[in-house]
Structure 1
């Protein structure tokens, strides 16, 4: 398999889509990795497996409609394998295994059959366990790589901080000819409306030169201004705190003019259609309860 990912919006040809099959029991609060899951565990509204399976099948059907090759993880019994974006990523023709939370190491083994189809010298793993990054924090934009991180002194105690500056430096070392820019994200284990779990929870390019952004997701105003200057304010769709909570920036592009979006994202979907982008709407509110949406559950392998 010859990988090729230069950006978030070129025509998709092959993708790993996570699975909700055999997702396991409702986790205990102390087992949850994010404040939104905890909120739903406490409320008794944590998503049911059959609902999440149906939501992911709706996405698989759209990929089929657009002739996208879809790879699914091998099933691990009673284990959450929904968020394929966390475990690995592709930049250019390079496959990079993430250094993720230790409890989730099994997930990468479930896509080993995909990795086996890639030229071995193109498969990378960070050389040290203290180099942290997840795919949701890394957005490829042609000759730029945007990376979400957390620069707070409490990084080591902050379970919602998934990418550190050593992770940023590692990605830089792999792609010395690209401009790598990190963004210090707002984190909270108490309130999911104040928690940008990954960069794609508060920012994502879409279409030809547009992007979705949540200003308050950035701890440093200069980071936000960098993106405003980069894209131009007129090309940005600003989402508010509630829209960020419901994951409006976490849609997924099949091409510059086709996106998959949650059917409840009314304001965003109108804006996208006004740009002549085809919006394929799916139900994804149950999966969203785990603080992840469409980009989080997909890991692109090949785009034109």
Structure 2
């Protein structure tokens, strides 16, 4: 049996689901795009090709092997995008929560059924249908659970709005002993530079007391100030609109002092090294064109 344990974003990782780019299917047409960044690349003819994405994910997998992390990969579904494992579920403490994702993506959960079968069935839950919540919006920080959401009255019109207020309420009920803090995120259907698809597109903790943050990703300044007060301004690396667009906050921690990052994130990687992190740099620029990066590709199951 897998004894799930996730309490934060940075403790030493022992087991993870890593998505897959194998048999990823053809380039979608513009009506099939889930987010403005994919749409931009579809229209420009620069949408990533499977042959370029497979080596990027292999490089990520190699880092996990180096640190002796148990890696599960989803079973292959033909002609199907299975890169972003973070969307389909998440672990809080020792509970696996299945996401109610966009209906087209339900098969992605079936592809990790062999992993779920190794978990105590009492520890696997599925929210009711009206609850929308995706792993990219759920971030654990010890006593806190941070949840990205969108509170606009036009929620239903946004395919980029992935977690609703019912999702926040559901987690509050499930984990009454945690401090739940939701963040109202900026959404755009047309401009990727102004679209925080998930909370990890504009914020992520690193180490034991630091974080990467994009101030303009939050609709309310009070939400941004909450994080500044919690972490301390001097501990937060502020990214620019362009760095947000390139997903600089979507790195992934293997341990409190080890961060996997994209090799082109020069300014961020320098700051991490100056703060005594080991930075494992890999190429991930093709996958980034789908508005997802390293954290989005992982579903952590066990940390120390």
**Category of TM-score, reference length = shorter chain:** over 0.9
Map of 1:213 onto structure 2:
213
Map of 1:227 onto structure 2:
227
Map of 1:103 onto structure 2:
104
Structure 2 matches for 1:34-73, cutoff 5 A? Answer: 34-73=35-74
Which TM-score applies when normalising by structure 1?
Answer: 0.99
2 CA distance for matches of 1:252 and 1:302?
14
Structure 2 matches for 1:145-294, cutoff 5 A? Answer: 145-294=145-294
2 CA distance for matches of 1:207 and 1:50?
33
Structure 2 matches for 1:117-156, cutoff 5 A? Answer: 117-126=118-127, 128-156=128-156
Map of 1:19 onto structure 2:
20
TM superposition shift of 1:17: 0.1
2 CA distance for matches of 1:205 and 1:261?
13
Match of 1:285, SS state, is: coil
Match of 1:259, SS state, is: strand
Match of 1:132, SS state, is: coil
2 CA distance for matches of 1:88 and 1:50?
27
TM superposition shift of 1:81: 0.3
TM superposition shift of 1:292: 0.2
Runs (4 or more) in structure 1 with deviation over 2 Å come to none
Partner deviation per Cα, 1:64-98 (whole Å, 9 max, x = no partner): 00000000000000000000000000010000000
Partner deviation per Cα, 1:152-186 (whole Å, 9 max, x = no partner): 01101100000000000001111000000000000
Structure 1: unaligned runs, 5 residues or longer? none
TM superposition shift of 1:15: 0.2
**How many correspondences in the alignment?**
303
TM superposition shift of 1:50: 1.0
TM superposition shift of 1:194: 0.1
TM superposition shift of 1:129: 1.2
Tell me how large the CA RMSD over aligned residues is: 0.4
TM superposition shift of 1:208: 1.5
1 CA distance for matches of 2:230 and 2:207?
15
1 CA distance for matches of 2:184 and 2:259?
27
2 CA distance for matches of 1:69 and 1:50?
25
Map of 1:82 onto structure 2:
83
Match of 1:52, SS state, is: helix
TM superposition shift of 1:27: 0.2
Partner deviation per Cα, 1:242-293 (whole Å, 9 max, x = no partner): 0000000000000010010000000000000011100000000000000000
Match of 1:296, SS state, is: helix
Structure 2: unaligned runs, 5 residues or longer? none
Which TM-score applies when normalising by structure 2?
Answer: 0.99
Match of 2:270, SS state, is: helix
1 CA distance for matches of 2:118 and 2:189?
38
TM superposition shift of 1:49: 0.1
Map of 1:32 onto structure 2:
33
2 CA distance for matches of 1:221 and 1:276?
30
